[in-house]
Amino acid sequence: MSTRLPLPAAAQLPLRAGIGLRAQHHADIVAHRPVVGWFEAHSENYFAAGGAQRSCLTRIRADYALSLHGVGLSIGSTDPLNRDHLEQIVRLVHDFEPMLVSEHLSWSSVGGRFSNDLLPLPYTEEALRHMATRVRDVQDALGRQILIENVSSYLQFNCSRMSEWEFLTSLAEESGCGILLDVNNVYVSACNHGFDAHAYLQALPRSAVKEIHLAGHTVRRIGEAEIRIDTHNTHVCDAVWDLYSMAAKRFNGVPTLIEWDADIPSLDVLVAEAHKADCIAGEERAAAA
Amino acid sequence: MLQLRELQRSFDSALFDDASEAVAPWVRGCESDSANGAAIDAHVRIAIYRNNLREGFRKALALEFPVIERLVGEDYFRQLALSFLAEHPSRAGDLHPIGEPFAHFLHSRFEDTPYAYMTDVATLEWTYQQSLIAADAPPFDVATLRDIPPEAYGQLRFSLHPACGLVRSPYPVMRIWAVNQAEATGDEVVDLSSGADFVLIRRAAEGVEMRRIATADFAILQAFSQQAPLADALQQARALDPEFDLGEALRRFISLGVLAAAHTTHSTSPGVTPP
């Protein structure tokens, strides 16, 4: 069943943490070349045929390692796979030779209508078979392994028959994809649904996790209750840093990325956040040595 | 596939058609909710996603039409975006194309009202957005003209650079655009009857640039964008300006990077030309 695609040897991202690439920072990055390990670009932001955005990415790619992170392929949708969208990603992968390519454990469209959001899947055998087939189709089109990221969710489906970590683990086994472990998303969903975030991390197979994401989130009060929303608009919170320590220990040497996509601060704030991740990962590596 | 398909269709209805009762039976009850031990209703959970959809769509639209948002104000823009979402939801995994039918949508709303000018402002903003992302092209190669015998000049077809756009309006849209830029200060009032604008949008080294151009320049460039032969294009320009100097105009267009190529046979041009 397993069709694991080997990563080419050159596809290693640096150990030093990377940051999410935003157009607001393009000029600053080109001018000052901040000390970060790598950049991650949202694939859809570079679908343009030409222009300044694309040429900036070309300049940045010349100096840094890169990963491509898609938010719109709607891989979990029951609509036919969007071949135009996939072709755009194939073109970007060809042009920019990223070290990693990732998508989400989610869907965002049905009947051709797109919410452009990361909607949760039910964790059923049917959804698992569907996702595994789609991931294999995408990997075949790209000729390489992709990573699938766990998303934050605000509801669960009562038809689910397995946990999210069981679903992700089976998906990796069946499709040969890697896992992009978003530690913030694990924490947000654990709080929202009352499961144990540490158990989630312990259950994921070490060999399948190829990248880690960190981001900030927002707590929203609803009456007496509270719900955590994945807003990517602030610093990583202390509880998520604690969880990251555990992740850095368990998934030693896996590249880490800082995401910040709304209310975007100056580049140095993001660089400082990446350095904080480096310190924590460095301590865990030293302790393990 | 049946269950997953049905669930996704129900969820879609809950998001777009406000029919959260369609998906509520699929959503787990909140007995096990540990956050403060307090339950959050399934409808409230679904509303979080509906809100994400609406806000994400509104923000993406506002990024493409900042002048329209400034003209109508944030609150009214939010209402417009909601109506626009209902009529023209996103059809792609990339949000950038959502703005394409916006000028048409505004036209259907504001035709025959004092706000009819907003359609042309939206067209200008959309053309600007298209110019930002259009394909790159090498500068016009003047040497190509040398190989063409003078008797064939009339049948020459110029194509415009892909990032080049043309917008005409009976309103002073260029002025409206300029005084409503984020960095513009003061409350300058634009007289809507202060004249028509013929605007050239092009990509320069510093970014996308807009400028008002003469009606004859506009006419010949528009003819080029429609692949008209030079003789016909020139005739259209001369109809507006009998003194129109073709050589001087071509030199100017080349220095502005507006022309991409010249062909002696018919070919399609990828230029940014709004309807």
Q: Return the residue of A nearest to B138 by Cα.
A: A50
Q: What is the pLDDT of residue B34?
A: 47
Q: What is the pLDDT of residue A140?
A: 97
Q: Would you tell me which residues 170-189 of chain B have a C-beta closer than 8 angstroms to some C-beta of chain A?
A: none
With beta carbons under 8 A apart, name residues in chain A contacting B3.
122, 124, 126, 159
Burial B137-148 (b: 16+ CB within 10 A, else e): beebeeeeeeee
> Do A164 and A189 meet the contact criterion of CB atoms below 8 Å apart?
yes
Pairwise CB contact (< 8 Å): A119 & B135? no
**CA–CA distance from A252 to each of A255, A263, B18 (Å)?**
9, 31, 45
Tell me the nearest-neighbour CA distance from A45 into chain B, angstroms: 8
> Do A53 and A46 meet the contact criterion of CB atoms below 8 Å apart?
yes
Pairwise CB contact (< 8 Å): A225 & B163? no
Cα angle, residue B93 at apex, residues B92 and B97 outer, rounded to 5°: 50
The CB-based long-range contact list for B194-197 (8 Å cut-off, 24+ gap) reads B196/B168, B196/B169, B196/B170, B196/B171, B196/B172, B197/B167, B197/B168, B197/B169, B197/B171, B197/B172, B197/B173
pLDDT tier for residue A209 given thresholds of 50, 70 and 90: very high
Type of residue at A245: S
Pairwise CB contact (< 8 Å): B40 & A225? yes
For the cut 90, the answer to whether the pLDDT of residue A182 exceeds it is yes
Q: Return the residue of A nearest to B12 by Cα.
A: A110
Average pLDDT over residues B223-244: 97
Q: Would you tell me which residues 212-271 of chain B have a C-beta closer than 8 angstroms to some C-beta of chain A?
A: none
With beta carbons under 8 A apart, name residues in chain A contacting B133.
47-51, 53
With beta carbons under 8 A apart, name residues in chain A contacting B8.
77-78, 107, 110
The DSSP code sequence of A208-248 is GEEEEEE---EEEEETTEEEEE----SPPPHHHHHHHHHHH
For an interface test with A, give the residue of B7, B10, B203 to mutate (most A CBs within 10 A): B7
Give me the domains of chain A, ranges plus CATH numbers. 9-288 (3.20.20.150)
Average pLDDT over residues B168-183: 93
> How many angstroms separate the CA atoms of B275 and B202, rounded?
17
pLDDT in tens, B7-61: 999 999 999 998 888 888 899 875 444 444 457 889 899 999 999 999 999 999 9
Q: What is the pLDDT of residue B38?
A: 53
Q: What is the pLDDT of residue B150?
A: 84
Average pLDDT over residues B152-181: 95
| Average confidence score pLDDT of chain A | 94
Chain-centre distance for alpha carbon A111: 26
Nearest to B12 among A55, A82, A111 (CB): A111
As to burial, measured by CB atoms within 10 angstroms (0-12 exposed, 13-18 middle, 19+ buried), residue B206 is exposed
Tell me the nearest-neighbour CA distance from A73 into chain B, angstroms: 6
Pairwise CB contact (< 8 Å): B28 & A157? yes
pLDDT in tens, A83-116: 999 999 999 999 999 999 999 999 999 999 999 9
> Do A225 and B35 meet the contact criterion of CB atoms below 8 Å apart?
yes
The DSSP code sequence of A91-110 is HHHHHH--SEEEEES-EEEE
Give me the domains of chain B, ranges plus CATH numbers. 139-275 (3.90.930)
Torsion of CA B90, B96, B100, B105, to 10 degrees: 60
Pairwise CB contact (< 8 Å): A154 & B48? yes
Nearest to B163 among A51, A82, A110 (CB): A51
Q: Would you tell me which residues 131-170 of chain B have a C-beta closer than 8 angstroms to some C-beta of chain A?
A: 131-137, 162-163
Pairwise CB contact (< 8 Å): A82 & B93? yes
Tokens of A31: 């001018």
Asked if B96 reaches chain A (Cβ–Cβ under 8 Å), the answer is yes
| Average confidence score pLDDT of chain B | 91
Tell me the nearest-neighbour CA distance from B104 into chain A, angstroms: 20
With beta carbons under 8 A apart, name residues in chain A contacting B260.
none
Tokens of B201: 């949008």
Please report where in the chains the tokens 């969820």 appear, as a residue.
B11
Tokens of B207: 């970014």
Tell me the nearest-neighbour CA distance from B139 into chain A, angstroms: 14
With beta carbons under 8 A apart, name residues in chain A contacting B63.
none
For the cut 90, the answer to whether the pLDDT of residue B275 exceeds it is no
ipTM given for this complex: 0.94
Q: What is the pLDDT of residue B187?
A: 67
- Partners of residue A256 on adjacent β-strands: A212
Sequence-distant (≥ 6) Cβ neighbours of residue A188 within 8 angstroms: A152, A217, A228, A229, A230
Torsion of CA B153, B159, B160, B166, to 10 degrees: 90
Could you give the percent of chain B with pLDDT greater than 70? Answer: 92
